[in-house]
């Protein structure tokens, strides 16, 4: 019924330029925002308690059934509330931003960290003595040996573990469900619970689906739908009851409306914009209750929500102001869920990136521009709310309207690090290169931080591993040995001082990469297989084609498109190091190789002059200098070529990415001094494709040129480029126009991603000194925004150091 | 028309600044040519004043490596080797360029020994073709409006280089601008104008005596050239540095605006460039004393008052260019 609705003639009226400077969230939204920021983060034990009860009761049953029954038990037993002033109901914990423990993922690290949760360096949570006692005495004992974490630990063979311990790569998703997916929101809105149930029942009657494992899948799916219905009814009942008790008639009417929305969704598909917003949020609450994972992303929200908005506006059911407030209510909701991570994981993914990524703008399936009224309303919401979620992404292409680029520039100038910008001109061909039909490729959206995927049809397993290209280069310098321990971690190849040419150096590095990539893929395959056994996801599988048609869980290969994404870290350090070795050791020969190795092993102790010379004399990536950029291109492309040969165990293939989230800090901690002049243990370059902080000295356009020299179609899992601008860059009447021009150039140079921190160093230093006064200061970490004061000092310092571009 | 010989024209360039936002329309690449006839006390680019390449030492980056002792006797003084010693060396060589008896290559080799780049050359001989290769790189960012801005120093101090760059840019369809202090022979402008889209033209003061006292010359040539440019219908934006202790009062600025309005041809508008002291460290690096010491930044209200004085003359005004 919505397909016939036409766009209004003035699609930019959602964010008219005249209102940019005066836009503001409603008093209600601001009050909720304040409450979100001020509520201390607590540990939640309900998820753990009720999951344990359910698993104990379902012993011996197929895992898919146990997972579905767990979901049903949770939604019946968990405490629910509707907070003051809220317009959209639902959360997976009683209070916002609670640390939820999913014991089926892990208890070992949780047990180890329970007592330090309130004090650990990154991602702290309060916990009570009673909670600790319940977890330790009643919950954890049941799970020993049964969790994903414990099973993975006993299944990874020693050669792979040696490489992991040797820090050549990490194996991710080993202690919680893997998330990283774009559920089919469009179908959910179209069918609702009743429609989905009919689809399941239709599929299970097919002759090909009569095997018992298929029927088990469908039984589980139906239980999951019952769980959804149960949860929506509980919220409907609660809202109705609160409405009765409410003395303020206006609030009572709102609560009655919430009750009506929830009651409607318990059976039917949404009919209004307001109901559709509530439905979107419920979908994500339920995937989070089921999976407890990061990066379930709503995708192309401005596309699938537009028909609901237009119908309501045209019917006069909503004014645009009302629609904006409802939209901002959802924006706030996205901030209520955080993921409790282990200390080590929290270093790699610091500051609770939960990854509700919304990708707006871009192209329609026929290649025409997709920007619409809701695109601008989303930007408006981000300008108003300015919190860390949703992770707002704007897709741009050669035909993007100037208004969109300037509106994006304006929101960027407000400094929440959003929106980040994605470039259709390179991403779409990259998706086609992975075998997607062009129409499907044009419909890509973003998962979590910067990962690329197809809405509703793909399991991209985007964060399977981080591969430390810099560490492998370090091992290569020493013939495959760790320079400190002397342990042989990689292949035995010649040491730098045994080589006679740079070509030998390159050959050895290539061999080591091949060796470690192979180990990494084998490790990822093992983890992938265990997920299918331990964490089938009946609710999630309803929203990924073709799980229902095939009667196959999404974790077991039910998706139409399957990938695994593995990130190469870090191109800048590799390129700079190789350029320095080539120049100093082989071309100009002013540095004997043994002297370089000694200096590196001793972390440049007493050789600061040498270090400075390596920094200042050798060319550096990020300056549009082919002498070094050629290495970024060659080794980036080489890594991609190695990775993309491997199939995943779910069908489909491995695909490379270049991004680190915040992992450049901990991954750098395990790499000794490098020939680019970096000290031992210092962070690697940030982002993924960014130059090393302070080494790019020729401005932002030179950085974009350096990055563009890699064939980034191949990095189809996602890439990340950080840029930092001073607020003064945005001064002056023409600044937004000029910034839009920067985005046009970025588009033309086929750089897939860029994001901007717009905050002065002074402000960051003040925030370090007086955290309480800067609670809402949001900065861009890497593919996501976080509260600056919630990051540990080292990461804060790293963000301060990133090169800053001012207006010149 | 082909003029391949222009690619080989050489000039002393001391910086190429990509993605400049405030020196002409759109996003621009600024090419800084060395040499300026004026000696303004507040100059933010003192390294641009002399035509020749110069040695500078940024003491903050010096790690006192002591290497100069081994490699060069002239640096023995520095090797005595305090930071002050090195600075003294530079100071003694201030305004000089090549060392007595050193060839350029010799000096460069020695300077290259500096591991941090604290001691380095400002200004390099480059060909127009080489500079344009860098300028062309940023064509994706120029859009309809952006392009090349030649600044300095004073671009007209190197007329051949300036003309070559402008000509080559125009051949490529790149928009061109120069930022000029106006103190040059009219014939030089005549030579450049065919290849120029916009002239950013500094007017610092209307009073010839004040102008002479603070810049080294009176303003006769400058005002005369401005009149001729506008008479020719050239697209001119006037830029006024707002300098406390020199011209940063509404009466003086209003006087300039009134004068500009009476020019024979139209002026597109006036950019006010408020004083900053960011160039101060460069004086130390050149072994010079900062002449404009003791002046504070202008307050927002002082700047606004000057802007209002321009508006009172019915001229469009921007702050910061």
Please report the DSSP string for B242-262 in residue order: E-TTTT-SHHHHHHHHHHHHT
Q: Give the closest of A613, A749, A807 to B21, CB-based.
A: A807
Residue B76: predicted pLDDT: 36
Please tell me the distance from the alpha carbon of residue A673 to that of residue A664, in angstroms, as a whole number. Answer: 15
Q: Count other Cβ atoms within 10 Å, centred on residue B172.
A: 12
Beta bridge partners of B274: B242
Q: Is the pLDDT of residue A766 over 50?
A: yes
Q: Which residues contact A517 (CB under 8 A, 6 or more apart)?
A: A467, A639, A642, A643
Please tell me the distance from the alpha carbon of residue A415 to that of residue A383, in angstroms, as a whole number. Answer: 9
Q: Which residue do the tokens 């990775």 mark? A: A643
Contact A200, A209 (CB under 8 A): no
Span A677-695, average pLDDT? 92
Q: Give the closest of A624, A732, A744 to B143, CB-based.
A: A744
Contact B28, B148 (CB under 8 A): yes
Compare all CA atoms of chain B with the CA of A808 and give the residue at the minimum distance: B20
Short-list B196, B178, B158, CA closest to B9: B158
Helix (H) or strand (E) holding B15: strand B10-20
Contact A476, A508 (CB under 8 A): yes
Burial class, B209, CB count within 10 angstroms (exposed 0-12 / middle 13-18 / buried 19+): exposed
Structure tokens at B251: 């009466």
Q: Taking CB atoms and an 8 Å limit, are B138 and A701 in contact across chains? A: yes
Relative orientation angle of helices A148-155 and A502-534, to the nearest 10 degrees: 130
Q: Give the β-pairing of B10-20 and A753-758.
A: unpaired
pLDDT band at B102 (very low <50, low <70, confident <90, very high): low
Mutation for B interface: A588, A701, A733, A750, most B CBs within 10 A: A701
Relative orientation angle of helices A63-77 and A46-57, to the nearest 10 degrees: 130
Q: Taking CB atoms and an 8 Å limit, are B21 and A610 in contact across chains? A: no
The whole-angstrom distance between A709's CA and the closest CA on chain B is 13
Structure tokens at B235: 């697209």
- State residue A275 phi and psi, 5-degree precision: -65, -35
Q: Count other Cβ atoms within 10 Å, centred on residue A93.
A: 25
Q: What is the pLDDT of residues A96-126, one digit of tens each?
A: 999 999 999 999 999 999 999 999 888 899 9
Compare all CA atoms of chain A with the CA of B20 and give the residue at the minimum distance: A808
**DSSP category for residue A33:** H
Chain A contact set for B115 (CB, 8 A): 609-610, 612-613, 616-617
How many residues are there in chain B?
A: 321
Compare all CA atoms of chain A with the CA of B111 and give the residue at the minimum distance: A617
Q: Is the pLDDT of residue A485 over 50?
A: yes
Q: What is the pLDDT of residues A22-59, one digit of tens each?
A: 667 899 999 999 999 888 899 999 999 999 999 999 99
Beta bridge partners of A419: none
Helix (H) or strand (E) holding A706: helix A700-708
- State residue A442 phi and psi, 5-degree precision: -70, -15
Q: What is the pLDDT of residues B28-85, one digit of tens each?
A: 999 999 999 999 999 988 999 999 888 777 766 777 776 654 443 344 334 333 445 4
Compare all CA atoms of chain A with the CA of B17 and give the residue at the minimum distance: A698
Q: Which residues contact A535 (CB under 8 A, 6 or more apart)?
A: A67, A104, A105, A148, A177, A291, A555
Q: DSSP readout, A334-399?
A: TTS------HHHHHHTTT-----EEEEE-B-TTSSB---HHHHHHHHHHHHH-SS-SEEEEEE-TT
Short-list A354, A211, A287, A179, CA closest to A542: A287
Contact B216, B180 (CB under 8 A): no
Q: What is the pLDDT of residues B249-262, one digit of tens each?
A: 999 999 999 999 99
Q: Count other Cβ atoms within 10 Å, centred on residue A670.
A: 17
Contact A687, A722 (CB under 8 A): yes
Q: Taking CB atoms and an 8 Å limit, are B140 and A808 in contact across chains? A: no
Tell me, yes or no, if the pTM score tops 0.90: yes
- Interface ipTM above 0.90: no
Q: Is the pLDDT of residue B148 over 50?
A: yes
Q: Taking CB atoms and an 8 Å limit, are A738 and B140 in contact across chains? A: no
Residue A133: predicted pLDDT: 97
Contact A452, A469 (CB under 8 A): no
The whole-angstrom distance between B230's CA and the closest CA on chain A is 25
Chain A contact set for B303 (CB, 8 A): none
Please give the positions of A annotated as active site: 449, 451
* Contact residues, chain A to chain B, C-beta under 8 Å: 608-610, 612-613, 615-617, 624, 698-702, 705, 729, 731-735, 738, 741-742, 744-745, 748-749, 805, 807-808
Please tell me the distance from the alpha carbon of residue A206 to that of residue A193, in angstroms, as a whole number. Answer: 21
Tell how far CA B233 is from the center of its chain. Answer: 25
Q: What is the pLDDT of residues B195-250, one digit of tens each?
A: 999 999 999 999 999 999 999 999 999 999 999 999 999 999 999 999 999 999 99
How many Cα atoms within 13 Å fall on the side-chain side of residue A690? Answer: 32
Contact A126, A349 (CB under 8 A): no
Q: Which residues contact A403 (CB under 8 A, 6 or more apart)?
A: A12, A17, A371, A376
**Among the residues of B97-193, which ranges form H helices?**
104-112, 128-137, 139-142, 159-171, 186-192
Please tell me the distance from the alpha carbon of residue A263 to that of residue A245, in angstroms, as a whole number. Answer: 19
Residue A13: predicted pLDDT: 47
Q: Taking CB atoms and an 8 Å limit, are B116 and A612 in contact across chains? A: yes
Q: Is the pLDDT of residue A554 over 80?
A: yes
Q: What is the pLDDT of residues A432-450, one digit of tens each?
A: 999 999 999 999 999 999 9
Q: Taking CB atoms and an 8 Å limit, are B116 and A616 in contact across chains? A: yes
Residue A15: predicted pLDDT: 56
Q: Count other Cβ atoms within 10 Å, centred on residue B147.
A: 27
Contact A663, A795 (CB under 8 A): no
Q: Taking CB atoms and an 8 Å limit, are A808 and B320 in contact across chains? A: no
Chain A contact set for B67 (CB, 8 A): 609
Tell how far CA A742 is from the center of its chain. Answer: 25
Burial class, B278, CB count within 10 angstroms (exposed 0-12 / middle 13-18 / buried 19+): exposed
Q: Give the closest of B21, B137, B138 to A735, CB-based.
A: B21
Q: What is the pLDDT of residues A314-325, one digit of tens each?
A: 999 999 999 999
Q: Which residue do the tokens 């406390």 mark? A: B244
Chain B contact set for A616 (CB, 8 A): 115-117
**DSSP category for residue A396:** E
């Amino acid at each position: 019924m919505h397909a016939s609705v036409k766009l209004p003639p003035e699609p930019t009226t959602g964010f008219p330029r005249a209102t940019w400077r005066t836009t503001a969230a409603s008093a209600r939204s601001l009050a909720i925002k304040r409450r979100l920021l001020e509520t201390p983060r607590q540990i939640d034990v309900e998820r753990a308690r009720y999951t344990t009860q359910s698993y104990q009761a379902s012993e011996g049953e197929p895992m898919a059934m146990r997972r579905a029954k767990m979901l049903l038990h949770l939604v019946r037993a968990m405490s629910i509330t509707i907070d003051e002033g809220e317009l959209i109901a639902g959360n997976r914990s009683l209070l916002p931003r609670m640390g939820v423990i999913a014991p089926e993922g892990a208890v070992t690290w949780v047990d180890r960290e329970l007592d330090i949760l309130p004090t650990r360096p990154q991602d702290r949570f309060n916990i009570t003595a009673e909670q600790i006692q319940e977890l330790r005495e009643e919950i954890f004992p049941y799970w020993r040996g049964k969790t994903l974490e414990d099973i993975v630990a006993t299944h990874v063979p020693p050669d792979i573990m040696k490489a992991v311990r040797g820090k050549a790569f990490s194996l991710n998703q080993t202690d919680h469900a893997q998330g990283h997916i774009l559920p089919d929101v469009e179908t959910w809105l179209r069918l609702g619970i009743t429609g989905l149930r009919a689809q399941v029942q239709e599929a299970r009657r097919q002759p090909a689906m009569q095997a018992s494992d298929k029927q088990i899948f469908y039984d589980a799916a139906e239980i999951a739908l019952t769980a959804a219905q149960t949860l929506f009814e509980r919220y409907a009942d609660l809202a109705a009851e609160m409405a009765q008790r409410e003395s303020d008639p206006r609030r009572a009417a709102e609560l009655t409306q919430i009750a009506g929305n929830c009651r409607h969704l318990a059976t039917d598909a949404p009919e209004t914009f307001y109901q559709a917003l509530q439905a979107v949020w419920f979908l994500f609450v339920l995937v989070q209750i089921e999976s407890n994972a990061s990066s379930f992303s709503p995708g192309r929200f401005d596309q699938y929500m537009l028909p609901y908005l237009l119908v309501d506006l045209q019917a006069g059911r909503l004014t645009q102001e009302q629609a904006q407030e409802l939209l901002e209510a959802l924006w706030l909701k996205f901030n209520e869920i955080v993921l409790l991570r282990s200390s080590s994981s929290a270093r790699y993914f610091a500051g609770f990136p939960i990854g509700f990524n919304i990708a707006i703008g871009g192209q329609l399936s026929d290649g025409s521009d997709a920007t619409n009224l809701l695109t601008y309303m989303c930007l408006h919401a981000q300008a108003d709310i300015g919190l860390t979620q949703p992770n707002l992404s704007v897709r741009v292409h050669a035909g993007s309207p100037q208004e969109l680029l300037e509106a994006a520039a304006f929101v960027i100038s407000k400094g929440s690090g959003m929106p980040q910008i994605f470039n259709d001109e390179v991403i779409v061909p990259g998706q086609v290169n992975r075998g997607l039909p062009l129409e499907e490729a044009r419909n890509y959206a973003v998962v979590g931080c910067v990962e690329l995927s197809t809405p509703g049809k793909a399991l991209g397993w985007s964060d399977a591993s981080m591969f430390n290209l810099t560490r492998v280069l370090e091992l290569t310098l020493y013939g495959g040995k760790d320079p400190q321990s002397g342990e042989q971690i990689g292949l035995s190849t010649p040491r730098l001082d045994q080589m006679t040419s740079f070509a030998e150096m390159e050959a050895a590095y290539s061999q080591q990469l091949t060796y470690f990539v192979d180990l990494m893929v084998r490790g990822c395959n093992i983890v992938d297989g265990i997920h299918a056994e331990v964490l089938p996801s009946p609710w999630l599988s309803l929203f990924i084609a073709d799980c229902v048609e095939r009667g196959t869980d999404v974790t077991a290969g039910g998706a139409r498109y399957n990938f695994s994404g593995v990130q190469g870290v870090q191109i800048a350090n590799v390129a700079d190091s190789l350029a320095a070795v080539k120049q100093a050791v082989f071309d100009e020969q002013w540095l004997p190789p043994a002297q370089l190795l000694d200096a590196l092993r001793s972390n440049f102790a007493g050789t600061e002059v040498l270090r400075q010379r390596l920094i200042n004399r050798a060319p550096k990536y990020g300056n549009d200098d082919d002498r070094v950029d050629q290495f970024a291109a060659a080794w980036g492309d080489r890594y991609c070529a190695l990775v993309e040969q491997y199939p995943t165990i779910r069908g489909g293939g491995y695909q490379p990415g270049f991004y680190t989230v915040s992992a450049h800090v901990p991954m750098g901690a395990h790499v000794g001094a490098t020939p680019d002049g970096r000290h031992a243990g210092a962070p690697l370059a940030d982002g993924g494709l960014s130059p090393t902080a302070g080494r790019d000295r020729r401005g932002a356009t030179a950085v974009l040129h350096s990055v563009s020299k890699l064939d980034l179609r191949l990095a189809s899992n996602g890439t990340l480029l950080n840029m930092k601008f001073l607020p003064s860059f945005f001064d002056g009447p023409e600044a937004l126009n000029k910034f839009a021009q920067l985005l046009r150039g970025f588009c033309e140079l086929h750089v897939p991603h860029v994001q901007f921190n717009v905050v002065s160093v002074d402000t960051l230093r003040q925030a370090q000194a007086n955290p309480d006064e800067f609670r809402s200061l949001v900065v861009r970490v890497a593919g996501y925004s976080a509260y600056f004061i919630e990051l540990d000092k080292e990461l804060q310092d790293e963000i301060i150091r990133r090169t800053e571009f001012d207006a010149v | 028309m082909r003029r391949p010989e222009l690619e080989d024209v050489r000039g002393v360039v001391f910086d190429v600044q990509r993605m400049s936002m405030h020196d002409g329309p759109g996003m621009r690449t600024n090419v800084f040519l060395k040499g300026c006839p004026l000696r303004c006390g507040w100059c933010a680019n003192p390294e641009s004043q002399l035509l020749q390449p110069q040695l500078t030492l940024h003491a903050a980056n010096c790690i006192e490596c002591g290497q100069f002792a081994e490699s060069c006797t002239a640096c023995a003084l520095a090797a005595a080797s305090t930071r002050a010693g090195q600075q003294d060396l530079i100071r003694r060589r201030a305004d000089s360029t090549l060392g007595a008896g050193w060839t350029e290559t010799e000096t460069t080799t020695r300077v290259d020994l500096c591991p941090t780049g604290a001691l380095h050359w400002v200004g390099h001989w480059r060909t127009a073709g080489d500079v344009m290769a860098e300028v062309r790189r940023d064509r994706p960012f120029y859009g309809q409006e952006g392009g090349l801005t030649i600044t300095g120093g004073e671009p007209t101090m190197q007329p051949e280089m300036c003309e070559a760059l402008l000509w080559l840019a125009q051949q490529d369809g790149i928009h061109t601008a120069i930022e000029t202090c106006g103190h040059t022979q009219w014939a030089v402008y005549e030579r450049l104008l065919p290849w120029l889209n916009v002239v950013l033209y500094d007017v610092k003061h209307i009073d010839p005596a004040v102008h002479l006292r603070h810049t080294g010359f009176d303003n006769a040539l400058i005002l005369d050239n401005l009149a001729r440019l506008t008479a020719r219908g050239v697209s001119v934006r006037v830029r006024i540095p707002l300098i406390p202790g020199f011209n940063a009062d509404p009466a003086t600025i209003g006087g300039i605006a009134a004068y500009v309005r009476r020019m024979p041809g139209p002026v597109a508008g006036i950019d006010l460039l408020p004083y900053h002291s960011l160039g101060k460290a460069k004086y130390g690096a050149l072994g010079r004393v900062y002449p404009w010491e003791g002046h504070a930044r202008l307050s927002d209200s002082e700047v606004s008052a000057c802007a209002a004085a321009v508006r009172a003359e019915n001229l469009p005004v921007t702050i910061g260019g």
